[in-house]
Structure 1
């Protein structure tokens, strides 16, 4: 009797929902607070990113926002009045709303993943439903080590509460992923030992998620420390056995490097983070020039970024920050850009006045955004706020007086410090320590 040759071993795969996306074979833009805003995402897509993650948005922040189409930019925006303006409208006569999240429904369709900061299954579901119809997936951030995230039990703090993290993911799969037909995923960091990481990943891949991203650093590690990839193959194997796509993150600098690492560690995708801040062309294949032309062609990248920032009327502060990352510090235009106070200023600084009506466009956007704001002395600002507080009510005025008294007491203490009996070294420590305390 002739023997029957065994067929190929089929690897299980979690089904990809109709409106979702498969992370396999992708090189993607990582979620970043500043570089995840709309123009950065659009530029990454232009240069070849397969998918883009938006910046982490806290669940409570998106809940209660108003979703509307912006007629000037044709973008979808989720906005609300800042709490300070609700309490005291006199501080801002125009009642300008703050945009919490902005997407381009045409250019990002099927390629945008919404990342959420949460520590509550109920709030996670409420927040996800606010955007689920407009994105290709919802990603839970359980890897951010920053105090603003971990202090609320979110981000990397969830790695210490795996029961809660699994509950959040299951609820999102059942109540958001299934009805909206999109994928739910999670982003983690490696734990101290391979055994701990493996135990966590084995639990996560059983929640119904379609993808898992592993940042190859532990929670205490910072970006300047080299990524640790010793656990990566193991994580990829666990995910593959469960049919869940595994994406790697940490020290990936180009598409070519991403593809090589994906082959080496047998994972499905790779994220690029900090490199994409200064060089969005890092997503280009080598056949199209790769990322290497950036050093000589950074002006081309910056010009494209400016087009997109103006097109979507990006927040000026964010635009200026990203320009500071993309323009080499040794270039003369860097200083001129750094002194700019509005879009028209930076167009002139970059000598782009003659590029497709960019200067006129910049002036129009400046007017719509209300920039640059007129310079105001400290005395006039204090007087304006005091007058506004009087209109708001006596409680606010008393609070302002207490602040003034506290400031006077602080000033009195500073005067005492300058007495001759104080050692110069102690005085220097006092002066340098104060700003740090205030910034916490």
Structure 2
């Protein structure tokens, strides 16, 4: 008689990673419109970009009645320097999600190096997502220098403490799953030992990126350890996702069967064309111009940051086409829809969004250096008169407590470069 495989129970509001093809967490490419488009083309689940715990702590949760999204915001340093902007534009959106279209299929990936701050941040977003995933694989300095990302692979005890704290203090109370994303280590023995420890923390899922920490996306993924990792996870009842050089749903299904993984992540291929999640029998990969129009429409609907939208278009539009060069000169959504020939269908919406985002012809003038200096003096004088508790006074006369002022926009939400300023059309980092 065949025994039933062991499975860690999936919480009431969580999701099972088994038999899923999902969008990988990617800086820039994992923002709200990219996730919604991936879901539209058939992704089973979507990961948001790594968001550092300290960036989320101290944010304010807003329900946006225009976009129907939930926004976690804080005052940005850019907004502080330019009080000519409206209040909304001086607020930085740290994280935006669409509860109706993605909430039950969205996994929030957290960057952390501390159990306490991880729990504090995760509690803020837990009611709005289907799971919390710890990033233990990002090799970039902005993550590893803070003891986060791939640096956690060198401190497995700390990583296990973080996961256990999240399971006990966030996962169980909110009835969602906690998972982790790692990279393979130098030897199968080291990887097996790490995965065994992680599976004993109460997590429901583990993703293995089939590259070591020093490896970059241009280097081929190494799958020699994948079956072993999948076997260890299966024995513990934890779902195992694979990541690395997966380019389509059909390929993902074949690799899952070959290596015994429960599911697969698609990263850079989905950045270039999100329709890779659609199986061949439903049409497969769509033409780039069809995908671009869908992306622009979705970006307008959720009022995505223009810099981010422009960057993604730079990945989707073939670089040798004349329209690509024209797109790189765009300063607003209105410019984009005109360039791509969608002015009739999307022109009015683009103008409305430009006005609310205060870009293009609606951009507000910035204060001169002299005006900022005068504003600083006026604010300092006002603070002295009101005898407030010690606070930091910015150049714009906006007062913030020192601990809040230390935390401006983190690397994962820093202002995006336009495609024209990117030396290569190389994919962004897949965490």
* Candidates 210, 213, 216, aligned match of 1:219: 213
**Offset at 1:381?**
4.3
In the alignment, structure 1 residue 315 sits paired with structure 2 residue 309: no
Deviation, structure 1 residue 11? 1.1
Partner-residue secondary structure (3-state), 1:364: helix
The size of the alignment, in residue pairs, is 384
Q: Is the CA contact (8 Å cut-off) linking 1:91 and 1:385 kept in structure 2? A: no
Q: How does 1:321-340 map to 2 (within 5 A)?
A: 321-340=311-330
1:201 is the counterpart of 2:195: yes
* CA distance in structure 1 between the aligned counterparts of 2:217 and 2:194, rounded to whole angstroms: 23
- How far the C-alpha of 1:111 sits from its partner, in A, is 0.5
Q: Residue 301 of structure 1: which of 291, 310, 318 is its match?
A: 291
Q: Which has the larger radius of gyration?
A: 1
Tell whether the 8 Å contact from 2:331 to 2:359 is kept in structure 1 after alignment.
yes
- Matching residue within 335, 342, 349 for 2:332: 342
Aligned equivalent of 1:119 = 113
Shift of 1:397: 11
Q: Does 1:267 align with 2:255?
A: no
CA RMSD in angstroms, aligned pairs only: 2.1
Map 1:1-400 to 2 at 5 A: 7-83=1-77, 85=79, 90=83, 92=85, 94=87, 96-291=90-285, 294=286, 297-355=287-345, 358-372=346-360, 381-393=368-380
Q: Relative contact order (C-alpha < 8 Å, sep 6+): which is higher? A: 2
What secondary structure does 2:360 align onto? Answer: coil
SS of the residue corresponding to residue 32 of structure 1 reads coil
**What runs of 5+ residues in structure 1 fail to find an aligned partner?**
1-6, 399-440
Does the CA-based 8 Å contact 1:90-1:392 persist in structure 2?
Answer: no
CA drift of 1:82 comes to: 1.6
Q: Note the C-alpha offset of 1:107.
A: 0.5
Distance (whole Å) between structure 2 residues aligned to residue 137 and residue 41 of structure 1: 15
| TM, length-normalised to structure 2 | 0.85
| Contact 2:206/2:240, CA 8 A, preserved across alignment | yes
Distance in 2 separating the partners of 1:317 and 1:134: 26
CA-to-aligned-CA distance 1:62-118 (integer Å, 9 cap, x gap):
1111111111111111111124655x6757564621111011110013100000000
Q: Cα distance, 1:382 vs. partner?
A: 4.0
Q: Distance in 1 between matches of 2:363 and 2:4?
A: 66
3-state SS of 1:233 partner? helix
- Looking at structure 2, the residues matched to 321 and 85 of structure 1 have their Cα atoms a distance apart, in angstroms, of 22
Unaligned segments of structure 2, at least 5 residues: 382-391, 396-431
Q: 1:261 to 1:397 in 2, by over 3 A?
A: closer
